[in-house]
Amino acid sequence: MNIKQKWLNLIGTKEYFSLERRIFHGVCLITSLVLLISFPANFFLGLLIFGYVLLVALILLLILFYYSRYKQQSRATFAIFAVCISFVLVIGYLFNCGIDGPIILIFAITFVIYASIVKKEQLLFWMLFQLAIAYTLLYLEYSYPDIIYVHYEKPSFRYLDTALTLGILLLTIFLTIRYLKTNYRQQQELSIKKNEELQKANATKDKLFAIISHDLRSPFNALIGLSQILKEQQNELGEIEKEKFVTAIYDTSTKTYNLLQNLLEWSLSQTNEIHFSPEEINLNALIKQAIAMPLEVASSKEVTINLNVFENYDIIADKNMIETVVRNLVSNAIKFTSSADTISISSYINHKGTTLVVSDNGVGMSAATLKTLFDDGTTQNNDEHIAERGTGIGLLLCRDFIAQHDGLIWAESIQGEGSSFYVFLKNSSI
């Protein structure tokens, strides 16, 4: 665990603490560091009373941090913190040379610390609070100069004290501003990330609506039309005609179901609701289970599927993801393969990993289609693309799921001669 992560864990995570509360924890720690440096320095300079006050303030500050961070008692902690700091300033002013000492410099930086913690509605109150204390001390010193305790064992100690206070002030300003800038940058990055996720969610929503309105309407219209004919003309149709209608209804229903399943999985993957869960699985058994439904469609088209995969070979992979990949590749091959043709599923293994190949001798693809096959742009609502290749959701699912396995997916095709889809999974990652 690096220093940055340790710091974030120390001040509290954003899941459990607000930004103001996390800044308060950070300021408590920074102020504690300053006090840890200051109180022994004041003992050295002979300012014993003020040194003891700083020591008590340090202990009290650490207690406040503990209750706010670990006991989550946050309502009164800042008020006590402000009172504690104000008490330290008053004692320091009275027992450290008044206006001739360095304490008057600290009032401004104290307000900067307050401003970094409180809500904007409270800024004016705390500014007036600081001014009231400072002006009161100045007035008391002017009216009753004897109340100021001046004691340095050596004249040079006054200059040393001022130099030390100035250094501590600059250190406090540096650490506080650096911390605030870091939080500001993190909030910016979080805001940008949320905007990107929102844009992505909107794009997913638009894509879903586009497919539902375009690609789902047609099959449902076909199902309604076919079933209506069967309902109204069942006594007039022959057995062969009825069988054709039933087969058409079955094919359309299967394709529509596959599309709905892909849409569901794709929308879940876009919103990070599908988690990568690798496990040891038998490759041959996985493929057989994945092609169970496509196999029925292939049989209805009299398409043969040849499986040439090692029977006793296990891989480490996410079972549901790889099943989805195989199912989509085989379904696409069936869709673009003519009746009585053959689809082959084979596997190759070497020292680098496992390669699955789904090949068909169907219509193939043009070079232009092949080039953009796995691009996000292919899922846009393009009538020509949808008419030729479908929505492209299934292939995007394949691409994203294989990417989570740190693998590769690509295709080779010659128009009119067929296509081959390759899935490579590394040994180290599967």
The tens digit of pLDDT for each residue in 23-75 reads 777 777 877 887 788 778 777 777 777 677 778 878 877 887 887 888 776 66
How high is the pLDDT of residue 385? 39
**Distance (Å, rounded) from C-alpha 337 to C-alpha 306?**
14
How high is the pLDDT of residue 381? 43
Query: Higher confidence at residue 240 or residue 49?
Result: 240
**Per-residue confidence at 387, pLDDT binned at 50, 70, 90?**
very low
Q: Where are the domains of the chain?
A: 3-197, 215-274, 279-430
Contact between 96 and 119 under an 8 Å Cβ cutoff? The reply is no
* Average pLDDT rounded to a whole number, residues 96-107: 78
* Average pLDDT rounded to a whole number, residues 4-21: 74
DSSP alpha helix (H) spans, 45-154: 48-69, 77-94, 106-117, 123-143
How high is the pLDDT of residue 99? 83
Cα 39–44–48 angle (5° rounding)?
Answer: 60
* Average pLDDT rounded to a whole number, residues 8-35: 76
Contact between 104 and 93 under an 8 Å Cβ cutoff? The reply is yes
For residue 171, what are its two tokens? 């250190």
How high is the pLDDT of residue 356? 93
**Distance (Å, rounded) from C-alpha 396 to C-alpha 304?**
26
Distances (CA, A) of 171 to 33, 38, 166: 10, 12, 9
How high is the pLDDT of residue 344? 94
Count of alpha carbons within 13 angstroms of residue 13, beta-carbon side? 5
Burial 249-283 (b: 16+ CB within 10 A, else e): bebbebbbebbebbbebbbebbeeebeeebeebbb
Q: In sequence order, what are the residues at sequence separation of 6 or more whose Cβ sits closer than 8 angstroms to the Cβ of residue 224?
A: none
Lowest mean pLDDT among 150-164, 211-225, 317-331: 211-225
Helix (H, G, I), strand (E, B) or coil at 22: helix
Instruction: Read off the amino acid at residue 395.
Output: L
Mean pLDDT of the chain: 79
> 373 pLDDT exceeds 80?
yes
**Distance (Å, rounded) from C-alpha 129 to C-alpha 114?**
11
Query: Higher confidence at residue 320 or residue 51?
Result: 320
Of residues 365, 367, 310, 378, the one with CA closest to residue 333: 365
> 379 pLDDT exceeds 60?
no
Burial 327-338 (b: 16+ CB within 10 A, else e): bbbbbbbbbbbe
For residue 244, what are its two tokens? 């054709």
Lowest mean pLDDT among 3-17, 52-66, 120-134, 244-258: 3-17
Superfamily of the domain at 279-430: Histidine kinase-like ATPase, C-terminal domain (3.30.565.10)
47 phi, psi to nearest 5 deg: -90, 70
Of residues 376, 396, 391, 132, the one with CA closest to residue 265: 396
How high is the pLDDT of residue 249? 85
**Distance (Å, rounded) from C-alpha 148 to C-alpha 97?**
6
For residue 128, what are its two tokens? 């007036």
How high is the pLDDT of residue 41? 78
Contact between 319 and 297 under an 8 Å Cβ cutoff? The reply is no
